[in-house]
């Protein structure tokens, strides 16, 4: 009997991965993986320049219940 792992028929055997290739792959994954960042919110003293004032969706829901086609 052989001392290696059992060989199944129809399945190709992979060669062992070279440690240098494994190190290069690990370094590439480490560089490509996104790192968590801390983002601090900057508070400004004035409101934004553009707002939704005057738009239909800026009014409360109860005042938007007008029915344009209903009437007498």
The residues, any chain, with a CB within 8 Å of residue 57's CB and separated by 6 or more, are: 64
Judged by DSSP in three states, 68 sits in: coil
Instruction: Read off the pLDDT of residues 12-59 as tens digits, 9 standing for 90 and up.
Output: 777 888 999 999 999 999 999 888 888 888 777 776 666 666 666 667
Rounded CA separation 30/19 (Å) = 16
pLDDT value, residue 43: 78
Q: Which of 2-6, 22-26, 58-62 has the lowest mean pLDDT?
A: 2-6
Say whether pLDDT at 10 is over 70.
yes
pLDDT value, residue 24: 95
Sequence spans of domains, the chain: 18-43
The residues, any chain, with a CB within 8 Å of residue 13's CB and separated by 6 or more, are: 7
């Amino acid at each position: 009997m052989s001392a290696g792992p059992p060989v199944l028929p129809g399945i190709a055997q992979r060669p062992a991965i070279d440690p240098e290739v494994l190190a290069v792959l690990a370094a590439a994954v480490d560089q490509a993986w996104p790192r968590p960042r801390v983002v601090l919110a900057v508070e400004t003293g004035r409101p934004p320049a553009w707002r939704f004032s005057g738009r239909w969706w800026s009014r409360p829901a109860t005042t938007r219940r007008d029915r344009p086609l209903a009437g007498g």
